[in-house]
């Protein structure tokens, strides 16, 4: 080893030891007679000291070294005169006797500090330098730790990790596949998996009982800030289980992770049916760190002459604590917020519950103080609270009020990153109607089983059928989801038919799975958790990109290695492919 110790471990117990350290020059300070260098490695920072009087040559050499030079030094551990209690090595410094420059460094294009001066683009191009910064290093260390704890937990309860293939088959259902042309079979393509769904189900048919895998998945979608074309999933499946068994195991895993990673003991997770979640929060991934649950006011608001409410399918509001004092200007901002095109609410009705027991609302013309009192009562409002009420078509109104609720949560600092409120959303509908294409979509995926007691509705009223499908939601973020699967050929065929597959299409794409169901497929179900998102949540961030060593940008490019790029004509020839010229 080119060191006897790392830069994070020496302390008062090592005084007078001769040591060798290797690392990067973080910064140096010349204080006349003394020169100090902070030497950095993955483990920490150790201060090096040089004395101009007693070691003028060495000290002169040290003064010429630039930032990010790679040094190997030999020296003796000494107690510092002025200690730094902020770092573990702050009691000591190394009185250096030899320096070897292991490698030089050009001046980095941005500062390698916790807060850097580098913009996003330059940091992506020099990702290897950005990765030297503490925040990113801690993110990757966290990711490593979460991954290890996930594996330990599952390993200890008899789950086995089984690798499924990456070169699989393209199926047009769902998001777009990335495809891989086959040279040995010209004109044909593999696809990269969007998830190992069918393979894990086949493992259940194969008798493997408790499967897991931390696995890369791929989706060729137009990217948003929190999406990556390749992402990592904690993928799990179990046989001979019911929904409760799966929830218990993965609630256990989540609790284990919080204990191991954050030293937080979580209570049992509430379970909220999908319909309830929509009714109370207008979202299937509610942030329950704070209240402000929706209260429906249709019965109290109708037939008082206010046309907007009278015509509305839904009148629904939230009671915002201690905001009755909001000014006209503040209220106008909220109106603008809900009127943004993304939300598209027509207007916002407010009611101030004044401290003196009176009410002031934007609809005083139509409603008496008693009416408003009745609303306040139903909403459990206190004096000093502000009621915010939206109305209109149910789904749109709920969506807008959900955003407004989150906005108010932010304003009132009720969404604290160090507080964690997990829950299970359960009993999802099996199908959702796609207005644009006039067809049913699988809400989870086509392999999710209808609830057995609702099977008969599948023919008559498919929209009413629920599934034993569940999402794990933490702080308003969907961390994972899963379901009990179909394990019967006839039911799977019926499902494909409902989703608009012809018999030929179903057979061509998923015939192998339906065949497998005829050879003793056990009842089974599973879950997949977004590993990138889970780690980001532990890190207190929304951006998964900061928790991935080498992410792509929003155009799907890796600007560091300049990928994707053109390939040689010989490669195209071998693949029997031609690139079409596009007019631009």
Q: In the range 56-115, which residues lie near a second copy by CB under 8 A? A: 68-70, 72, 102-106, 108
Q: Which is nearer to a second copy, 3 or 451 (CB)?
A: 3
Q: Are 13 and 50 in contact (CB under 8 A)?
A: no
Which residue among 230, 276, 296, 407 contacts a second copy (CB under 8 A)? Answer: 230
Q: Which is nearer to a second copy, 102 or 455 (CB)?
A: 102
Q: Which region, judged by CB under 8 A, interacts with a second copy, from 258-266, 279-287, 365-373, 555-563?
A: 555-563
Nearest residue to 161 (alpha-carbon basis) of 208, 213, 231, 103: 213
For residues 292 and 323, what is the distance between their CA atoms, to the nearest angstrom? 12
Q: Which is nearer to a second copy, 134 or 330 (CB)?
A: 134
Q: Which is nearer to a second copy, 317 or 530 (CB)?
A: 530
Report CA torsion sign: 135, 137, 140, 142.
negative
For residues 304 and 346, what is the distance between their CA atoms, to the nearest angstrom? 19
Tell me if 299 contacts a second copy by CB under 8 A.
no
Which residue among 128, 344, 355, 569 contacts a second copy (CB under 8 A)? Answer: 128
Which residue among 38, 41, 235, 427 contacts a second copy (CB under 8 A)? Answer: 41
Q: Which is nearer to a second copy, 36 or 43 (CB)?
A: 43
Tell me if 4 contacts a second copy by CB under 8 A.
no
Cβ-count burial of 584 within 10 angstroms (0-12 exposed, 13-18 middle, 19+ buried)?
Answer: exposed
71, containing H or E segment: strand 70-79
Tell me if 184 contacts a second copy by CB under 8 A.
yes
Q: Are 180 and 191 in contact (CB under 8 A)?
A: yes
Q: Which is nearer to a second copy, 209 or 478 (CB)?
A: 209
Size of the site for a second copy (CB under 8 A): 122
80, 344, 400 from 91: Cα distances, Å: 6, 60, 56
> 134: which 2 tokens?
């503490």
Which residue among 121, 161, 364, 459 contacts a second copy (CB under 8 A)? Answer: 161
Tell me if 496 contacts a second copy by CB under 8 A.
no
Tell me if 490 contacts a second copy by CB under 8 A.
no
Q: Are 305 and 366 in contact (CB under 8 A)?
A: yes
Instruction: Show contacts with a second copy in window 558-577 (CB under 8 A).
Output: 558, 560-568, 571, 574-577
Q: Are 121 and 91 in contact (CB under 8 A)?
A: no
Residue 186 CB, nearest distance to a second copy (Å)?
5
244, containing H or E segment: helix 243-257
Q: Which is nearer to a second copy, 412 or 560 (CB)?
A: 560
The answer for residues whose C-beta is within 8 angstroms of residue 225's C-beta and 6 or more apart is 543, 545, 554
Which residue among 18, 512, 540, 569 contacts a second copy (CB under 8 A)? Answer: 512
Nearest residue to 81 (alpha-carbon basis) of 108, 102, 59, 51: 51
Q: Are 400 and 343 in contact (CB under 8 A)?
A: yes
Q: Are 523 and 487 in contact (CB under 8 A)?
A: yes
Q: Which is nearer to a second copy, 109 or 384 (CB)?
A: 109
- The binding track of 253-292 with respect to a second copy, each residue x by CB under 8 A or -, is ----------------------------------------
Q: Which region, judged by CB under 8 A, interacts with a second copy, from 240-248, 351-359, 368-376, 407-415?
A: 240-248
Q: Which is nearer to a second copy, 103 or 413 (CB)?
A: 103
Residue 281 CB, nearest distance to a second copy (Å)?
32
Q: Which is nearer to a second copy, 141 or 311 (CB)?
A: 141
Q: Name the DSSP letter for residue 59.
A: H
Residue 80 CB, nearest distance to a second copy (Å)?
24
Tell me if 440 contacts a second copy by CB under 8 A.
no
Three-state secondary structure call for residue 514? helix
Q: Which is nearer to a second copy, 386 or 548 (CB)?
A: 548
Report CA torsion sign: 278, 282, 288, 291.
negative
Which residue among 29, 63, 183, 340 contacts a second copy (CB under 8 A)? Answer: 183
Nearest residue to 485 (alpha-carbon basis) of 517, 524, 539: 524
Q: How many residues does the chain have?
A: 584
Residue 388 CB, nearest distance to a second copy (Å)?
40
The answer for residues whose C-beta is within 8 angstroms of residue 220's C-beta and 6 or more apart is 175, 176, 177, 178, 229
Query: Which strands make up the sheet holding 271-273, listed edge to edge?
Result: 160-161, 210-218, 230-239, 524-530, 477-484, 469-474, 422-426, 271-273
Tell me if 295 contacts a second copy by CB under 8 A.
no
Q: Which is nearer to a second copy, 230 or 310 (CB)?
A: 230
Tell me if 163 contacts a second copy by CB under 8 A.
yes
Tell me if 232 contacts a second copy by CB under 8 A.
yes
Q: Which is nearer to a second copy, 334 or 516 (CB)?
A: 516
For residues 532 and 478, what is the distance between their CA atoms, to the nearest angstrom? 12
Which residue among 157, 160, 311, 395 contacts a second copy (CB under 8 A)? Answer: 160
For residues 534 and 230, what is the distance between their CA atoms, to the nearest angstrom? 15
Instruction: Show contacts with a second copy in window 11-30 (CB under 8 A).
Output: 22, 24
Tell me if 216 contacts a second copy by CB under 8 A.
yes
Residue 103 CB, nearest distance to a second copy (Å)?
5
Instruction: Show contacts with a second copy in window 129-158 (CB under 8 A).
Output: 129, 131-132, 137, 140-141, 143-144, 147-148, 151, 155
Tell me if 437 contacts a second copy by CB under 8 A.
no
For residues 80 and 49, what is the distance between their CA atoms, to the nearest angstrom? 10
Three-state secondary structure call for residue 83? coil
User: ω into residue 483 within 30 of 0, thus cis?
Assistant: no
């Amino acid at each position: 080893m080119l060191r006897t110790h790392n830069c994070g471990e020496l302390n008062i117990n090592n005084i007078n030891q001769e040591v060798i350290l290797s690392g990067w020059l973080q910064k140096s300070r010349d204080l006349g007679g003394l020169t100090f260098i902070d030497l950095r490695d993955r483990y920490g920072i150790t201060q090096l000291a040089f004395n101009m009087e007693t070691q003028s040559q060495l000290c002169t050499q040290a003064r010429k070294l630039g930032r990010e030079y790679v040094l190997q030094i030999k020296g003796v551990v000494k107690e510092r005169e002025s200690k730094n209690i902020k770092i573990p090595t702050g009691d000591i410094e190394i009185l250096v006797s030899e320096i070897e420059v292991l490698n030089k460094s050009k001046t980095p294009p941005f500062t390698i500090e916790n807060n850097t001066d580098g913009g996003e683009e330059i940091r992506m191009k020099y990702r290897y330098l950005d990765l030297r910064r503490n925040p990113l290093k801690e993110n990757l260390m966290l990711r490593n730790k979460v991954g290890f704890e996930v594996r330990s937990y599952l390993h200890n309860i008899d789950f086995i990790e089984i690798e499924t293939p990456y070169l699989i088959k393209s199926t047009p259902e769902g998001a777009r596949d990335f495809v891989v042309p086959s040279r040995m079979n010209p004109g044909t393509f593999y696809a990269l998996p969007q998830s190992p769904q069918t393979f894990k189900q086949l493992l259940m048919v194969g008798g493997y009982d408790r499967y897991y895998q931390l696995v890369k998945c791929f989706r060729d979608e137009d990217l948003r800030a929190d999406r990556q074309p390749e992402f990592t999933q904690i993928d799990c499946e179990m046989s001979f289980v019911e929904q409760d068994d799966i929830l218990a195991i993965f609630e256990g895993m989540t609790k284990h992770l919080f204990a191991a990673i954050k030293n937080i003991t979580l209570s049992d997770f509430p379970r909220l049916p999908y319909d309830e979640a929509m009714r109370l929060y207008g979202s299937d991934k509610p942030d329950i760190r704070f209240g402000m649950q929706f209260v429906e006011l249709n019965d109290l608001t109708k037939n008082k002459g206010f046309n907007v409410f009278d015509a509305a399918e839904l009148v629904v509001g939230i009671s915002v604590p201690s905001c009755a004092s909001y000014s006209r200007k503040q209220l106008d901002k909220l109106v603008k917020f809900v009127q943004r095109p993304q939300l598209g609410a027509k207007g916002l009705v407010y009611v101030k519950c004044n401290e003196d027991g009176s009410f002031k609302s934007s609809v005083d013309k139509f409603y008496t103080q008693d009416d408003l009192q009745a609303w306040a009562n139903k909403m459990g409002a206190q004096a000093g609270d502000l009621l915010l009420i939206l109305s209109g078509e149910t789904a749109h109104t709920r969506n807008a009020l959900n955003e407004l609720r989150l906005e108010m949560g932010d304003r009132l600092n009720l969404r604290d990153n160090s507080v964690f409120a997990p829950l299970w959303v359960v009993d999802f509908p099996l199908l959702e109607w796609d207005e644009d294409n006039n067809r049913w979509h699988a809400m989870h995926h086509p392999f999710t089983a209808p609830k057995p007691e609702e099977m008969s509705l599948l023919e008559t009223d498919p929209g009413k059928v629920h599934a034993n499908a569940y999402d794990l939601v933490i702080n308003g973020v969907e961390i994972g989801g899963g379901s009990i699967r179909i394990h019967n050929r006839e039911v799977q065929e019926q499902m494909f038919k409902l989703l608009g597959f012809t018999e030929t299409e179903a057979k061509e794409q998923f015939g192998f799975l339906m065949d497998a169901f005829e050879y003793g497929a056990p009842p089974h179900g599973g879950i997949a958790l977004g590993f990138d998102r889970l780690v980001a949540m532990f890190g207190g961030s929304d951006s998964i990109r900061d928790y991935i060593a080498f992410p792509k940008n929003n155009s799907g490019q890796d600007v560091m290695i300049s990928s994707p790029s053109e390939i040689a004509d010989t490669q195209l020839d071998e693949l029997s492919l031609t690139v079409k010229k596009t007019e631009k």
